[in-house]
Structure 1
Amino acid sequence: MSGQGHAIRAAFRSALGAFTLDAAFEAPAKGVTALFGPSGCGKTTLLRCIAGLIRVPDGFFAIDGEVWQDREGRFLPTHRRPLGYVFQEASLFPHLSVRRNLLFGAPRQKTDGRPEIDFDEVVDLLGIRELLDRSPRNLSGGERQRVGIGRALLAQPKLLLMDEPLSALDRRTKAEILPFLEKLRDHFALPIVYVSHDVAEVERLADHVVLVETGHVVGAGPLAEVQSDPSSPLARSRDAAVSLKGVVVGFDAAYGLLDLAISGGRLFAPGPPARAGEERRVHILASAVSLAHDAPGRSSILNAVPAHIIAMKPLDPFEVVAAVALGEDGGGARLLSRMTRKSWVELGFAAGQRVYAQVKSVSLDAGRGEAEP
C-alpha cells in the first residue's frame, strides 16, 4: 500500500496474545466507513491500531496521502494524530462543566489546511446548548454521549473514530441519538470510521462497509454493493437488505406517497412530503422482494421494476437468495430476493434471465418504520 490521496488505507498484521490480527482495507476518505462484524472479531482492535493506541510493527496507515504509520519505522503517536475518538462510554470529566469538557483538548492554534469546526455549530448540531453550564453528573446517558461526540469534533480532527458509540445505550436512547449521527455525517466533510455489530446502525449510517471476521477482513466496498452480493455474510442474515440512494421526483398528497428515482427504476414509498431533488436513503429487505417472469397485473404491490437475475446462492437446503440488477438492460441498482428453493426450481429461474422485481415494502432512512404500499 502507498500513501495516495483521497483514501483511507490500513493494513495491520500481528499476534496479540491468543488473537491474530491480519486485516487490510481501503476506503474513501469521506463519509462513514463501518467496521462490521460479530463481537470479538477484532473491530475495536483494528480501530485502536488506526488510532495508534496499539503499536503493530507490521502495520500501515495513511489518510489523504498523509502516512501515520509504515513498515519502515514511521509511527505517529496517538497525541500527534489529528483524530477524534468516541468511546462506548463518554468518559467526561466530572469536575468540569459541559462547556469545559467540550473545549478540553481543542487545539489552541488554528489547524492547517482544514476548515475549522466551529463551537456553536457543534453545540447546535448536537442539541446541547442548554447543557453547557451543567455538570456531567446531571446528564442522561444520551446527553453524555452527545457531549463526548462534540468534544471529539472540537479536537479539529482529520479523521473521527467511533467505537460502538450506541452500545451502552438502551433502545429508546439509541433512537434518540441516531438522528444526531446522521446530521453529523451529512453536515461535516469529515471521514468517520464507525465500529458496530448492529446491522441496523450500519445500514442507516454507513456509506462504505468493511466486514471483519476473526481478525480478518472478508469483504469491503460501498454499502449497497456489499449488501447485494449474495456471497456476502450480510446476505445470509434473516434481515438481509439493500440500502440505496433515492431522489425525490414528486409527492402524491392524496395518498401520502413519495415518488423516488433509483438507479434503474422508480419506487413509491409512504413518507412525509419532500421537495423534488431531495435525497432519501431507501431500505429494501430481501424478504420483501419477489420475482416474476411476466409483468404483474393489477395488484396491491405498487412497485414492480424490470430487472435481470445476476446470481443466486443457496442459504440452506430449502431457501435461496438471488441478486437482481434493476432496469430494462440490467444496468441499475441491485436488490436481493429471498425465496424458497421450490419457487426457484419450479419457476425455472436462472442467472441472466429478465424478470420483474416486485417490491412489497420500502423503508426510508433505513431504520424508520417500514411501510407497505
Structure 2
Amino acid sequence: MSLKVAITHRFDGFDLDVGFEAGPGVTALFGRSGAGKTTIVNAIAGLLRPDAAQITLNDTVFNSAQTFLPAHRRRIGYVFQDARLFPHLTVAENLDYAGRFGARAKGRTHIVDLLGIGDLLVRRPATLSGGEKQRVALGRALLSDPALLLMDEPLAALDGPRKSDILPYLDRLKSDTGVPILYVSHAVDEVARLADHMVLLSDGRVTRSGPLFDVMADPAAVPLLGVREAGAVLQARVTDHGPDGLSTLQVAAGTLNLLGVQAPIGAQVRLRVLAQDVLLSLEMPQGLSAQNILPATITSIRTGDGPGAAIALDAGGEALLARVTGRAVASMGLEQGQSLFAIIKATSVAQDAISGGST
C-alpha cells in the first residue's frame, strides 16, 4: 500500500501545507490540538475539498488539479472519536449496514470474534460503554471492505481503564487484518504501542516523518512530544520470568530485567523507555541498585533554551534517548561518538509501556 498526500488549505488564521507518504501497517499522525491532523484525514476521506491537493492511494487518484473522487468511491473506513453508531439499530444491524457497501459480509464472524463483540450483537448503542462502542465502530468500518482505515483520536474520549481495555484489540487488528491504518492521536503512549511509522505535525506543517523507532528517539522531536513523554521504543524478546516478579528481556544491546511483563517466554514486545528515566555513566557502574546497564554510543546532542539536553544513543543498533542537564553534558565532557553506559531502572518502565506479545 502506498498513500501519497500533498495538501494546502487555508482557514481563517491557519494555513495547512503538508506532504508525506504512508506505507503498509500503522502510520501515526501526531501533533497537538490545532496542528491540522483532522483536516488531513477529512481531506483524505473526501469529507473536505482542500484548496489544492494531490492525494493518491496505490493507483487511485483521490484528489488532483482535475480530480475529486467522491467519498463513497474511495473505499475508506473512518472511525471517529465519538463512534457515530446508528442509535436506532442494534449492534448487529450497525454491522450489517456496513456490509451493504463492501465485500466483507462473509468475514463478519471473523471481525466479530477479532473485536470480541459477539455478546453485544443484540444490544443498542445507548447500552454500550465507550470502549464497546469503539469496538463496534471498528467492526463496522472493517466490514465496509476498506482499502485504508482512518482512525481519528479513537480513544480520546475514553478514561484510562477503558483505553487499556481496547488497546489489545487494536494490537490484534493491526496484526490480523492487514488493512493499512492512518492513526490520528496526540497521545504518545498510543502511538508508541501501535504505530510503524510516524508523521509529526506542528502548526500545519510536517516537522519530521519516518519509522517510529527513529522519530521517537530523535532529540529534535522532544519539543513536540513533550519533555515528560519523549523517549525511545525498543524491540525485545521475553526470555525468562523469575520467581521474584522480574522478567528478563533480550534487546539489541543486552538484557533488561523488568517488572509487569505479561507476555509469554519467546514473545516479541515493544518497550517504551522515557528519556528522563535513562541515566548515563562514563564507566561501567559498580555498586548500583539498578541492574539494567546497556553499552551505548552518543550519536547526537541537542540543547534547547532550557537547562536540559537530549542525548541520542546507539545501543546495539537500536536508538535510545536520554535527557540530562546541560551542566551534566559539560561536566562529563559528553560529545558525539563517545562510548558510555545507559542505565535503566527496572521500575521505570511501567507495565502499560510494554506492549505486544507475538511469537
Normalising by structure 1, we get a TM-score of 0.88
Q: How does 1:176-325 map to 2 (within 5 A)?
A: 176-232=165-221, 233-234=223-224, 236-248=226-238, 250-272=239-261, 274-325=263-314
Q: d(CA) in 1 for partners of 2:75 and 2:349?
A: 40
| Structure 1 SS opposite 2:69 | coil
Count of residue correspondences:
352
TM superposition outliers: structure 1 runs of 4+ over 4 Å: 272-276
Match of 1:88, SS state, is coil
Q: Aligned pair 1:38/2:32, yes or no?
A: yes
Distance between the aligned counterparts of 1:167 and 1:367, measured in 2?
Answer: 20
Q: State the identity %.
A: 43
Offset at residue 236 of structure 1 (A): 4.9
1:326 is matched with 315
Separation (CA, whole Å) in 1 of partners of 2:102 and 2:322:
54
Note if contact 2:102-2:144 (Cα within 8 Å) is conserved in structure 1: no
Q: Distance in 2 between matches of 1:41 and 1:87?
A: 17
Conservation of the 8 A alpha-carbon contact between 1:280 and 1:365: no
* Cα distance, 1:246 vs structure 2: 1.2
Check conservation: 1:229, 1:235, Cα contact below 8 A: no
CA contact (8 A) 2:63 2:69 kept: no
2:92 is equivalent to residue 99 of structure 1? yes
2:82–2:154 Cα contact (<8 Å) kept:
yes
3-state DSSP of counterpart to 2:64? coil
1:114-153 Cα distance to aligned partner (Å, 9 max, x none):
xx87211111222211110112222222222211111011
- Report the equivalent of 2:48: 54
Distance 2:97 2:326 in 1: 58
Q: Determine the C-alpha separation between the residues in 1 that align with 2:354 and 2:224.
A: 16
Task: Please say if residues 115 and 169 of structure 2, whose CA atoms lie closer than 8 Å, have aligned partners that are also in contact.
Answer: yes
Q: String of CA shifts for 1:205-257, please: whole Å, max 9, x gaps.
A: 22211111111111111112111111113465222111122122x20433333
Q: Give distance in 2, aligned partners of 1:346 and 1:109.
A: 63
In 2, distance between residues paired with 1:70 and 1:87? 22
**Cα distance in 2 for residues equivalent to 1:140 and 1:38:** 27
Query: Structure 2 CA distance, aligned partners of 1:190 and 1:275?
Result: 26
Cα pair distance change 1:236/1:136, threshold 3 Å: closer
Indicate the RMSD between aligned Cα atoms, in angstroms: 2.1
State the shift of 1:109 in Å: 6.5
Q: Secondary structure at the match of 1:202?
A: helix
Aligned twin of 1:3: none
| Conserved? CA contact 1:283–1:364, under 8 Å | no
Whole-angstrom CA distance in 2 between matches of 1:273 and 1:309:
32
Please state how far the C-alpha of 1:290 moved relative to its aligned partner.
Answer: 1.1
For the 8 Å contact 1:290–1:358, the answer to whether it is kept is yes
Residue 241 of structure 2 contacts residue 265 of structure 2 at CA under 8 Å; is this kept in 1? no
- CA distance in 2 between counterparts of 1:158 and 1:140 reads 28
1:359 aligns with 2:353: no
| Among 316, 325, 328, the residue aligned to 1:343 | 328
Equivalent AA in structure 2 for residue 237 of structure 1: V
Structure 2: 5+ residue runs without aligned partners? none
**Partner in structure 1 of residue 78 of structure 2:** 85
Match of 1:66 among 59, 65, 81: 59
TM-score (norm: length of structure 2): 0.91
Letter paired with 2:288: S
Paired letter, 1:46: I
- Which SS does the other structure have where 1:24 is aligned? strand
Higher helix proportion (structure 1 or 2)? 2
Would you say the 8 A contact 1:107–1:156 is kept in 2?
no
- Paired residue secondary structure (1:103): helix
- Post-superposition shift, 1:296? 1.3
Distance 1:273 1:16 in 2: 47
For residues 16 and 185 of structure 1, the distance between their equivalents in structure 2, rounded to whole angstroms, comes to 34
Match of 1:16 in 2: 11
2:99 partner SS: coil
SS at 1:105's partner residue?
helix
Q: What is the distance in 2 between the residues matched to 1:290 and 1:12?
A: 42
1:263 positional shift: 2.7
Q: Distance in 1 between matches of 2:292 and 2:62?
A: 50
Counterpart Cα distance in 1 of 2:261 and 2:353: 15
Deviation at 1:363, TM superposition (A): 4.0
Cα distance, 1:262–1:61 mapped onto 2, change above 3 Å: farther
Cα shift readout 1:150-198 (whole Å, capped 9, x = no counterpart):
1011111111001111122233322222222222122221111111112
The Cα shift of 1:7 comes to 2.4
